[in-house]
Amino acid sequence: MSTVIPEFPALLAEAARLADDFALTAAHHDATGEFPFGNFDKLHEAGLLGLVTQREHGGFGGGLLEAQAVVAEIGRGEPSTALVLAMHYNGHYTISKPGKWPQHLAERVTQANREGPALINAAQAEPRVGSPAHGKLPETIARRDGDVWRITGHKNCVTGIPILKWVNLLALTDENEPRLASFLVATDAKGFRVEKTWNAAGMRATASDDIILDDVVIPLEDLIEAQPASEPLRREESATAFFFSSIGAVYQGVARAARDRLVSFLATHAPASLGAPLSTVPRIQEGLGEIEVRLATSARLLRSLAEDVDAGRSVGTDGMTVRHVVIDNAVAVTSLALELSGNPGLNRDFQLERHHRDTITARSHAPQNHMIRTIAAKAAFGRHAAKQAAAQSQLAPTPARQVKLAAAE
């Protein structure tokens, strides 16, 4: 049975306080695309960068339930910060899984996390290949040279790259039998550079830029894990659910911020033609009611999934499904909030249009929703085919049945 860590109430309260603080400069970071370095100093000071890091590595040992709650709270204040934090949590959660990381690499990364903001994120997507979810092998190559690896390649959409100390980089080895391998690469390594490419409509301060690796040298022992390149990329079930739902929690936080802004406006704005606050209008109440239903549904889905993951129960592909619903609900909430607020909501100072741009950007996360639906459809057809095959096998004549039929004749 899963239980929250004893420190969680205090940590969540601190996250809420920081979210209020981060909200004060969120519009600035959105307008300029300037990375919010100061936010991560404050997260480190509060101990929140170690929320899911195991206790033996100096963290609190929190699970998905705690991670979702903190990420959603920070997302309410400044979503770019929340997304980078979610990716960092995902990295440390995988470190906590037995056998996933070599001990010396786990200690290197977690020790740095204890000493200061030393964030990590995966670097998997590539400009020509796209996400590994599309099933193509990376063009980034790791070549073995004596006692080192030499890595050359190009990755895109590396969220939070200005503050990352490490990337968990996916590459193809050039061995006689190529392997699909993950390597721990320091962002200050010689030959490692950032190419500014991120200019999206939303989540502007995530600085999800490209990285170029030009013969970057790392020790042989800095390989995290590897598998035959001929096999599909292995995904551990609970880690996958953690990743998908923590991303969903970011946009649940954004949707909550939009709801709060809308409620404040509707409760206080009284047009002269109405003579009462907009909150008294039945159509407005119904629209806000839909927002509440969507937010409550998303919160329940996220919590249920987190409880199952933290308790060690199998969740299959529910992480993808939950993320799909939560993001769709967040987009619907911010869109409806704009509609209900009328012209004021379109003013940049009102913040609703920023929340809407941020939630729409969520649909770029791989696998995109259309891929999730296709995966679900194929699984349904697979279950149907299996049932049909099982039914046919029961009807097929067996030696024993043939003997009985012959005797009856």
> Each residue of 95-116: pLDDT tens digit?
998 888 999 999 999 999 999 9
Q: Cα-flanking dihedrals φ and ψ of residue 75, to 5°?
A: -60, -30
Residue 337 located in a structural domain: yes
pLDDT at 144 over 70: yes
Mean pLDDT, range 56-66, rounded to an integer: 97
Residue 75 sits in the same domain as residue 175: no
Residue 245 located in a structural domain: yes
84-93, 130-139, 325-334: least confidently modelled range: 130-139
Considering only CA atoms, which of 120, 22, 64, 112 is closest in space to residue 318? Answer: 64
Distances (CA, A) of 353 to 267, 275, 345, 364: 19, 27, 7, 18
Residue 27 sits in the same domain as residue 106: yes
Residue 132 sits in the same domain as residue 99: no
Share of the chain above pLDDT 70, in %: 96
Residue 2 located in a structural domain: no
Residue 248 sits in the same domain as residue 373: yes
User: Residue with structure tokens 């987190």?
Assistant: 306
Domain containing 258 — which CATH number?
1.20.140.10
Mean pLDDT, range 139-166, rounded to an integer: 98
Residue 197 sits in the same domain as residue 315: no
pLDDT at 323 over 60: yes
> Each residue of 287-296: pLDDT tens digit?
999 999 999 9
Q: How far apart are CA 386 and CA 172, in angstroms?
A: 35
Mean pLDDT, range 225-250, rounded to an integer: 95
Residue 205 sits in the same domain as residue 265: no
Q: How confident is the model at residue 405 (pLDDT cuts 50, 70, 90)?
A: very low
Q: What pLDDT was estimated at residue 2?
A: 58
- Which of residues 228, 254, 282 is at a domain's end? 228
| Structural domain count of the chain | 3
Mean pLDDT, range 244-265, rounded to an integer: 98
Residue 249 sits in the same domain as residue 214: no
Contact 17/76 with Cβ under 8 angstroms? no
Residue 244 sits in the same domain as residue 344: yes
Q: What pLDDT was estimated at residue 394?
A: 82
Q: What pLDDT was estimated at residue 134?
A: 79
Which residue range(s) make up the domain with 95?
A: 8-117
Q: What pLDDT was estimated at residue 100?
A: 86
Residue 202 sits in the same domain as residue 72: no
Q: What pLDDT was estimated at residue 215?
A: 98
Q: How far apart are CA 239 and CA 50, in angstroms?
A: 17
Mean pLDDT, range 228-244, rounded to an integer: 94
- Which of residues 83, 117, 151 is at a domain's end? 117
Q: How confident is the model at residue 392 (pLDDT cuts 50, 70, 90)?
A: confident
Residue 198 sits in the same domain as residue 260: no
189 Cβ partners below 8 Å, 6+ apart? 216, 217, 218
Residue 82 located in a structural domain: yes
Q: Apex CA 95: angle with CA 89 and CA 100, to 5°?
A: 140
Which helix (H) or strand (E) covers residue 179, if one does? strand 179-186
- What predicted TM-score, i.e. pTM, was given to this entire model? 0.94
pLDDT at 308 over 70: yes
> Each residue of 2-43: pLDDT tens digit?
578 999 999 999 999 999 999 999 999 999 999 999 999 999
pLDDT at 324 over 90: yes
Domain containing 191 — which CATH number?
2.40.110.10
Q: How far apart are CA 192 and CA 190, in angstroms?
A: 6
- Which of residues 228, 248, 283 is at a domain's end? 228
